[in-house]
Amino acid sequence: MKKFVLFALLFSLSFSSFAQEDLFGKNTASTVAPRKGWIIAVNGDFDIPAADMAKRFGLGYRVGPSFFYKTTSNWVFGAKGDFMLGNQVKQDSLLINVKDQTGGFINTSGERVGVPLLERGYMVGLQVGKIWNLSDKIKDNGILFLTSVGFMQHKIKIWNKDNSVAQLNGDYVKGYDRLTNGMYVEEYVCYNYFAKRGAINFHIGLDVTAGFTQGRRDYLYDVMRPDNQNRLDIIFGVRGGWYIPIFKRKSEEIIFE
């Protein structure tokens, strides 16, 4: 979460420094026609889970890159990847058969130790979308509607430091981690901005992800049953990111914005 807050702070400082000059068309002498080229993005997402996802995890966040091509008609095509991170785990029955009477864990030396539980996962997918222009000065800017389809996986990361709790060593931990994966669909709506020239290139908006997933462990030790149930994992997100566009002029000369 600290990384997300830092990202937002840096974004705000940079935005306030340059927005007055370029963002609203001030000091812009001519219209910039829609440009084409490759675009690299670094993205961050603050996540609010719903449906089955909310039964297992609390608030989390995603970070990751995307890479896509933009046409002169403002269509975009590409791919993305996100790492799913969080430290709020709600699985009540988890490790109940490993804990002692006080709810702690006894290591191999007979000492009571803590075992942190974390949310970990990833998403990879293909993207297609279109920018609806709102600017008379820079035709690349406007509202971006972006659809992603791909594969998602998440689990509960059980941090057994130094493998000190014998019941959680090796393959035993797989009987507790709730490994889950499947296909997902994501819709993202954002304001999309490319500077006429300079480093202020960004997007910020809202997304919703629906994961059609299934538990993938043959047996769960704490509840003594297979984990093969179908799930609907919903995530609502506030997303933002920084662009590195590599546009081409009519002469096909490559320009790093």
Please give the pLDDT value at position 241: 97
Least confident piece of the model among 187-191, 196-200, 217-221, 223-227: 196-200
Total number of domains constituting the chain: 1
Please give the pLDDT value at position 3: 52
Please give the pLDDT value at position 13: 43
Q: Residue 4 in 3-state DSSP?
A: helix
The C-alpha atoms of residue 26 and residue 29 are separated, in whole angstroms, by 8
Banded pLDDT at 19 (limits 50, 70, 90): very low
The predicted model scores a pTM of 0.82
* Domain membership of residue 52 as a residue range: 2-23+38-248
Across the range 223-246, mean pLDDT stands at: 96
Q: Kindly state whether residue 254 falls inside one of the protein's structural domains.
A: no
Please determine, for residue 5, whether its predicted confidence score (pLDDT) is greater than 60. Answer: no
Please give the pLDDT value at position 1: 53
The residue ranking higher by pLDDT, 164 or 22, is 164
Across the range 193-217, mean pLDDT stands at: 94
Please give the mean pLDDT across all residues of the chain.
86
Please give the pLDDT value at position 11: 46
pLDDT tens per residue, range 99-112: 877 777 887 777 78
Please determine, for residue 121, whether its predicted confidence score (pLDDT) is greater than 90. Answer: yes
Please give the pLDDT value at position 201: 95
Across the range 4-26, mean pLDDT stands at: 45
pLDDT tens per residue, range 132-176: 998 788 899 999 999 999 999 999 999 988 888 888 888 899 999
Please give the pLDDT value at position 256: 47
Looking up residue 120, the CATH number of its domain turns out to be 2.40.160.20
- Residues in contact with 203: Cβ distance below 8 Å, sequence separation at least 6, in sequence order: 41, 144, 190, 191, 192, 193, 239, 240, 241, 243
Please determine, for residue 218, whether its predicted confidence score (pLDDT) is greater than 60. Answer: yes
DSSP codes of every residue in 107-158: -TTS-EE---EEEEEEEEEEEEEEEEE--SSBTT-EEEEEEEEEEEEEEEEE
- The structure tokens listed for 39 are 């675009």
158 φ, ψ (degrees, to nearest 5): -100, 110
Q: Residue 51 in 3-state DSSP?
A: strand
Q: Kindly state whether residue 28 falls inside one of the protein's structural domains.
A: no
pLDDT tens per residue, range 34-69: 899 999 999 999 999 999 999 999 999 999 999 999
Sign of the CA dihedral with 215 first, then 218, 219, and 223 last:
positive
Q: Kindly state whether residue 255 falls inside one of the protein's structural domains.
A: no
Q: Kindly state whether residue 152 falls inside one of the protein's structural domains.
A: yes
The residue ranking higher by pLDDT, 171 or 78, is 78
